[in-house]
Amino acid sequence: MSELVVIGGGPAGVTAALRARELGAEVILIEREKLGGTCTNGGCVPTRALAKAAGSCGTRSSLPTMASGAWGRG
Ligand SMILES: Cc1cc2nc3c(=O)[nH]c(=O)nc-3n(C[C@H](O)[C@H](O)[C@H](O)COP(=O)(O)OP(=O)(O)OC[C@H]3O[C@@H](n4cnc5c(N)ncnc54)[C@H](O)[C@@H]3O)c2cc1C
C-alpha cells in the first residue's frame, strides 16, 4: 500500500487527498491554518457573500426581505 503526504488543505490539496484515497493510498493531509484554504476561508466564498450582500443592500426593494430574515434563501 502506498503512502502519500499532501501539504496544504485548500481545494487542490483536498482534491488530491480524496483522489489518492479513492485509489487506495494511505493519505496524511497537513494544513497549517484552516482547512479549505483561500477559496473557502478568504477568497471565493466570502467574496461572493459580501458581493451579494453589498448588491442587495443597494436595492431598496430587498431591504424588507433582508430585515425579515428571509434574505439568502431564495
Ligand atoms: C479574493 C479572492 C476571490 C476568489 N474568487 C474565486 C472564485 O470566485 N472562483 C474561483 O474559482 N476561484 C477564486 N479564487 C481563487 C481560489 O481561491 C484559488 O484558485 C484556490 O484557493 C487555489 O486552491 P489551492 O488549493 O491551490 O491553494 P489555497 O486555497 O491557497 O490552499 C493552500 C493551502 O495550503 C496551506 N499551506 C501552505 N503552505 C503550507 C505549509 N508549508 N504547511 C501546511 N499548509 C500549508 C495554506 O494554509 C492553504 O490553506 C479567489 C481568490 C481570492 C484571493
What pLDDT, on a 0 to 100 scale, did the predictor assign at position 2? 84
Q: For the segment 8-59, what is each residue's pLDDT rounded down to a tens digit?
A: 999 999 999 999 999 999 999 999 999 999 999 999 999 999 888 888 876 6
Cα(37) to centroid(ligand 1), Å: 5
Q: To which residue does cell 497549517 refer?
A: 32
- At 36, list the grid cell: 479549505
Round to the nearest angstrom and report the end-to-end CA distance of the chain.
47
What pLDDT, on a 0 to 100 scale, did the predictor assign at position 74? 45
Kindly give the number of the ligand 1 atom that is closest to the alpha carbon of 13: 25
Cα(67) to centroid(ligand 1), Å: 33
pLDDT of residue 6 exceeding 90? yes
Phi, psi of 10 (to 5 degrees): -85, -170
The residue ranges of every structural domain in the chain are: 1-39
Phi, psi of 57 (to 5 degrees): -65, -30
Sign for the pseudo-dihedral over CA of 72, 37, 34, 3: positive
